[in-house]
Chains A and B, each alone.
Chain A
Amino acid sequence: MSEEHTHTRTIAVDLVARVEGEGALRVTVKGDAVQDVQLKIFEPPRFFEAFLQGRHYDEVPDIVARICGICPVAYQMSAVHALEQIFGLRVEGALRDLRRLIYCGEWIESHALHVYLLQAPDFLGYENGIAMAKDHPVVVTRGLRLKKAGNAIMTLLGGRSVHPVSVKVGGFSRVPLRRELEGMKDELLWARDAAVETVRWVAGFDYPEFTSDYNDVALHHPDEYPFNEGQIVASSGLQISVNEFERHFTEHQVPYSTALHCTLQGSPYLVGPLARLNLNLEHLTPLAKQVLADCAVSLPMRNPFHGIIARSVEILYALEESLRLIERYEPPPVPAAPITVQPGIGMACTEAPRGILYHRYKVDGDGVIREAKIVPPTSQNQSRIEQDLRLFMPRLLSLPDKKAAQACERVIRCYDPCISCATHFLNLEIRRESSA
């Protein structure tokens, strides 16, 4: 759609496809200068925060799993770790391993979907994954089989793949037998090789020349690539405990979006696979490091379009980590550690597929939730996405409206925004005002 007025030109594109959920983008251009970029997001974790108040703590994992169909484990993991902090419980040993394993399943599932069906079409010149599948059925079949390997882990540990039901405060309602985990090994070995192919495949794409001075933010653990534990670190040098999150990260209301924008000491920052990889390179497996070296990927990555490479490397890491955890698995004596309810406030940050996910709960002496706060990764990346669009727009201004809008969509998709955890559309509007 395009309307032309004397001074203002507005381009509205009804849909930005292949992002999670509902939102809208409005870009205002005056002459050859970008005046404003507003990403509007309708964000439901806010509604869930209210919905959680008055609920018993043991209902929380099941409720938060319904916030997002793509990353239910992330919501469950941040919730159980925050609640366990209140109850003075630390989950160790095989139960801790199983939590890493189910998170691997979610990363594999979520990343494979994004790499193969949501973002690869941008690099191969297709309108969407459906058009790509017609020409590249073998590639798409490989992507779906990879995703299925992640689903298998989620289903075995979580009881089902969509919103897992067996995660609980203290552990799981049921833990797998050793032979059940071993039964997945052959498929995971296939998937590991397919993940190596995936990294090689995406590293060969043509990438736009575009770098930005990101402040990467991720968890960092001394011994392992982070899932559930670690300090929050930033490439700016910040190094804090998760309990200090709200002292450094501030949420702001913006008039055009129901989602709060989160900034680190007043500035945009980046969370997600690219930031996580840049800050945790030393914890990659030898194979992952080798594949990256073979593909001549320069590190740290500073081009947002390289997010697809980071995501592919994380698929490979998650598969290798799954195999390692399965290899050493001995079922724990009990599926869940006992809980002693006590009142208090607890917080946790875990690495959702799209970046750090912060939860804070206040619980009373009966184990009832009095307050809940959830800061999802996409609201943390929002300012960063807007900043990237501001930097990227000048090169798009000479393009016809439709092409410019498509290029904006491609920038947004680099972040795999889970604008959902909500509902439906992302509308895109470019408003051009003449400089006269």
Chain B
Amino acid sequence: MRKNGPRSSSIRIIGLGNDLRGDDAVGLLTVRRLRHTIGDRAEVIEAGMVGVDLIELMKGASAVILIDAARSGKAPGSIYRLDASVSPIGGQVFPRSSHAIGVSEAIELARAMDVLPATVIVYGVEVGTTEVGQPLSPPMGEALDQVVKQIIQECEACHA
């Protein structure tokens, strides 16, 4: 996993996904783009197919923004913003991942162990194709622009 920005950053942005599986790369591509624009306003982590280790990656931050591929039956490119800070986000949008402990389970485990950061925002981008070796599907381009913009605004609001 690749990191940049100061370790002491109180905002941590974590991208998840598999960049060999089409639209599943969207979380990773979002943070790659944010790395160039976010400067020292947040720490950026490309976490790939992380499972329960998400707990460790979130630990110590005051706010965490997660970006992952989502699948809930809406049009590809639809963006979800869920606040996991006080209550579970459930598994409807983020299906159980291939790692047994998916995003929502890792968040709940951190909450159970009382190590969840005070603010945890989860962005999901509805995927189209997740076939091995496929490029991003067309609706994802615009979604990427949009989610990057929203996250920058979110960081600015945190710093305000």
Question: A residues bordering B, Cβ < 8 Å?
Answer: 15, 17-22, 44, 47-48, 51, 63, 66, 68-70, 113, 117-118, 128-131, 133-134, 137, 140-141, 144, 147-148, 151, 160-163, 420-425
Contact = CB atoms under 8 A, between A and B. Distances in A.
B113 interface: yes
Interface in B1-47: 1-2, 18-21, 47
A162 B49 contact: yes
B82 interface: no
B1 A129 contact: no
B51 A48 contact: no
Contacts of A148: 53, 56
Contacts of A163: 48-49
26 contacts: A17-B96, A18-B100, A21-B98, A22-B98, A48-B132, A51-B20, A51-B132, A66-B20, A69-B48, A69-B98, A70-B51, A113-B51, A113-B101, A117-B109, A129-B105, A130-B108, A130-B109, A133-B112, A137-B114, A140-B109, A148-B56, A162-B47, A162-B50, A163-B49, A420-B98, A420-B99
B81 to A, nearest CB: 22
B104 to A, nearest CB: 10
Interface of B: 1-2, 18-21, 47-53, 55-56, 95-101, 105, 108-109, 112-114, 130-133
Given A69-B97, A162-B47, 20 more contacts: A21-B100, A47-B132, A66-B20, A66-B21, A69-B49, A128-B105, A129-B105, A129-B109, A133-B112, A133-B113, A144-B56, A160-B48, A162-B48, A162-B50, A163-B49, A421-B98, A422-B98, A423-B98, A423-B130, A424-B97
Closest 6 CB pairs of A and B: A69-B49, A420-B98, A133-B112, A162-B48, A47-B132, A424-B95
A363 B55 CA distance: 41
A51 B95 CA distance: 25
Given A47-B132, A163-B48, A70 B113 contact: no
Contacts, number: 100
B53 A162 contact: yes
A117 B50 contact: no
A425 B113 contact: no
A130 B105 contact: yes
Nearest to A416: B100
A55 to B, nearest CB: 10
A137 B113 contact: yes
B131 A47 contact: yes
A140 B98 contact: no
Contacts of B112: 130-131, 133-134, 137, 140
Contact of A69 (B50, B56, B105, B132): B50
Nearest to B88: A130
Contact of B95 (A130, A144, A425): A425
A19 B97 CA distance: 10
Contacts of B96: 15, 17, 424-425
A162 to B, nearest CB: 4
A316 to B, nearest CB: 21
A281 to B, nearest CB: 29
B100 to A, nearest CB: 5
Contact of A20 (B56, B95, B99, B114): B99
A15 B49 CA distance: 21
Contacts of B97: 69, 424
A194 B51 CA distance: 22
A421 to B, nearest CB: 7
A69 B1 contact: no
Nearest to A116: B52
A69 B101 CA distance: 11
A423 B130 CA distance: 10
Contact of B2 (A113, A141, A160): A160
B148 to A, nearest CB: 23
Contacts of B98: 20-22, 68-69, 420-424
A161 B53 contact: yes
Given A47-B131, A130-B109, A66 B18 contact: yes
Nearest to A160: B1
B105 to A, nearest CB: 7
A118 B100 contact: yes
Contacts of A147: 52-53
Contact of B52 (A51, A131, A144, A423): A144
Nearest to B2: A160
A140 B55 CA distance: 12
A420 B48 CA distance: 15
Contacts of B130: 423
A395 B98 CA distance: 31
A132 to B, nearest CB: 8
